[in-house]
Each structure stands twice: as C-alpha cells, then as structure tokens.
Amino acid sequence: MNLVVYVAAGALVLSSALLFRRPRTAPWNPLTVSTCAAIALGGFVFVCSAPLTLATVNDLTGIPNFGAPLTYGMLSAYSCSLLVLLIHWRGGPRERLRRAALRCVVAYGALIAAIVMLFALADAHTERLRDLDTYYANTPGMREMILLYLLGHSAAIVVMCTQCVKWEREVTGLLRTGLRLILVGALLDAVGFQLTKYTAVVARWTGHDLDFLSTTLAPPAASLAALLCSAGFALPRLLPAVLTQWHSLGDYRRLGPLWSRLRFASIAPKPPSSWWQLPQDRLHWREVSIHDALLALAPYFDDGVRETAREAARREGRGQHEARVAAEAAMVADAARRAAAGEEPPEVSSGSRLYATEVSGPSGLVELARVLETVHTVGTMGEGTVRTYHG
C-alpha cells in the first residue's frame, strides 16, 4: 500500500510542477497557482496517509497517532484548495474572488485548528496506523475530530459536484472533459471514500463491526478519486502545453538537416546544455541560430542561382510558392557551399528576403529544411568561419 500511495503522490506533485513551470518574468496567475496548490496538496495527503509515514511521524514526535491530525489537517487544506480553485476557475471581479477565497481559508483554518484541539484533548495513546477512525469512533474528542474532518471534506465535495454539473452545460472542449473527470472523481470520493467511512464509523456507534469498509475500500477509492479530480483540473491547462511541446519537438527535429548545413556559419551564442530544457526552448535556440547563419550567408546569395532553380521548378509543374521555396533552397545550398569552401561571394548579391525569414514561427524554416534535403549535400567547416563582408 505504501508504494501505491507514494507513486500516486509523486504523479500529482509532478503534474503540479509541470503546471507551475513558467518564465521568471511572467506574472503570477491565481488560477495556475490555485490549480498547482490543489494538486500538490492532494499528493501530500497521500504521503501523510501512508502507514509508513504515519509511523515515522509518530516516532519523530513521540506522540502516538500524531499523524492523524496531520493527515486530517492536510485533507482539510486540500478540501479548501478545491473550493479556492473553483472560485478562481469560475472567474469574476478580482476583489470578489479574493474575498470568497479568504472566507474559505478562514473557515477551513478554523476547522484545522479544531481538529488539532480535539486531538490534544482526546485520550488516544494506542497507536493505530490503519483503523484509527473506527478504533476511536466512540472515544470522546477523537469521535468529534473524525466526524469534523469528514464533514469538512464532504462539504467541499458537495460544492464541487454541484458546480461541475452546473458548468458542464456551459462549456465545451477540453474544459468540459476536465469537468466530467472532476465530477466522476468527486462522486467516487463521495461514495467510495466518504460513504464507506461514515458507514463504518456509524456501525461502531451502534455496536457493529464494518471496519473493512474504512480500512479496505476507502483508501483505494480516495486515491483514484484524487487522481481523477487532479487530472480533470490539470487536463485543460496541461494538455495544450504538452501538445505545444510535442509540436516543438517535431519542428526541432525537422530543422535538423537545415541546421547541419548552416551551423558552421552561425556565431549565435550556444544554448545552455541542460538536459531538462523543454523542446520549445530548444526550438527557439535553433531558430535563432539558423536565422543568424542565414544572415551571415546573405552576401553569398546569388540571384542567378535562384532564378535558374525557379525556372526549373516551374518547368516541373510546381506552383508559384513551391517554386520560390525550391529556388531559395538551391540558393542557400549554393551560398553554404561557397562559404564553406572559402570562395569569394558574387559581385552582386541578392537583396531579396527569404520566404523562411518573412513568416513568423518555424513553419518557413521547416519548409526550407524539407526542400533543402533534396539538394546535394555540401561540406561544412568549423563554426564561425564565414568571412563577413560589408557594403
């Protein structure tokens, strides 16, 4: 059980870290912060509830069952974060959002304080790592603490289910998919975790033993519910970013042939060699370096080569745009050959801009790289060996 719980916690914390990644100069986004906080707190709840963690916390503090108020307090904080996230997700005037979020924090802060106080007043000297809720269901102080944390979590889940049902009819696309995942997770939490906990505790109150509901069924249901809810919150924000990185990786690789031909001409600073650098950052560096190389090769661009290649492409039946790109690819290949061989540039160089440098984004460079693959490969020299001509 410990391994499963820790793996689930790791997945949630990793998702939170990916969502939270942003440029240093980017402003704080309350929705992103609240999403990351909710997902991360869900992961911490898993860690705190693991029997191994409970035993470790009890040993370190020297207080039997001290892990219980820690776990219940963390669960209450997670419930609060869900409500705060819903507040920011719904949107509205900033001041209204701030007041609503503050009310949630104050209410659940008081709940956590009450949980700690009730634990301090209770007589719970027998350590229970798996069945504390049912073992102490009739113990004064502990009984109220257990009921209090369950009610606090139930309130958050009820609000979340209500809002998801209401919003699901108003949105489309990834946001609707995310809301449905949240709703499924919330319902699973309500039935698989809360209902089983309530039933097991009430059974103890009436002299019956249904502890297996609390110790066997509730933990995996809570884990799956938290994963589904976290996936629902993260999906609308994380999936577009993942797809962007995936497309950037594809463009980065497609620019490989072009970069291998022109890298000798680039004097742009080399990118930091960080293994964790995202594909989008790598693509940006490659674009900058290729543009720098094309600028360095500009004195070698020959309009005669371009026009000859354009006419040949038109005779082959290519359209105007395809003929232009093919002609520019031939001219770039010829310029790279001249520069790499140390030849003199043509007396009159081309003053026209390349299509690849006119369009925004990497699409023009990718198209140039694709066409350039069909042009005879030229040798290259060391980086920064192109002579610079002015005039």
Give residue 20's pLDDT band: very low, low, confident or very high (50, 70, 90): low
Of 178, 163, 279, nearest to 229 (Cα)?
A: 178
What Å distances lie between residue 260 and 69, 76, 369, 372, 373, CA to CA? 60, 56, 10, 11, 11
Give residue 146's pLDDT band: very low, low, confident or very high (50, 70, 90): very high
Write the pLDDT tens digit of every residue in 24-50.
544 567 887 888 888 888 888 888 888
> Which of 166-175, 192-201, 326-335 is predicted with the least confidence, judged by mean pLDDT?
166-175
The reported pLDDT for the residue numbered 38 is 86
Say whether pTM exceeds 0.85. no
Say yes or no to pLDDT of 380 above 80. Answer: no
Q: What is the mean pLDDT of residues 93-115?
A: 95
Q: What is the mean pLDDT of residues 261-277?
A: 74
């999906």: which residue's tokens? 235
Mean pLDDT of the chain: 85
Pick the CATH number of 2-243 from 1.20.1070.10, 3.30.530.50, 1.10.357.10, 3.40.50.2300: 1.20.1070.10
Q: What is the mean pLDDT of residues 179-186?
A: 92
Q: Answer left, alpha or beta for residue 123, where phi above 0 means left and psi between -120 and 50 means alpha.
A: beta
Domain residue ranges in the chain: 2-243, 259-372
Give residue 1's pLDDT band: very low, low, confident or very high (50, 70, 90): low
The reported pLDDT for the residue numbered 303 is 85
């209902």: which residue's tokens? 195
Say yes or no to pLDDT of 384 above 50. Answer: no
The reported pLDDT for the residue numbered 391 is 40
The reported pLDDT for the residue numbered 63 is 94
Say yes or no to pLDDT of 207 above 90. Answer: yes
The reported pLDDT for the residue numbered 269 is 74
Say yes or no to pLDDT of 124 above 80. Answer: yes
Write the pLDDT tens digit of every residue in 58-96.
999 999 999 999 999 999 999 999 999 889 888 889 899
More confident site: 242 or 268: 242
Give residue 17's pLDDT band: very low, low, confident or very high (50, 70, 90): low
Say yes or no to pLDDT of 231 above 50. Answer: yes
Write the pLDDT tens digit of every residue in 340-359.
888 888 776 666 778 888 88
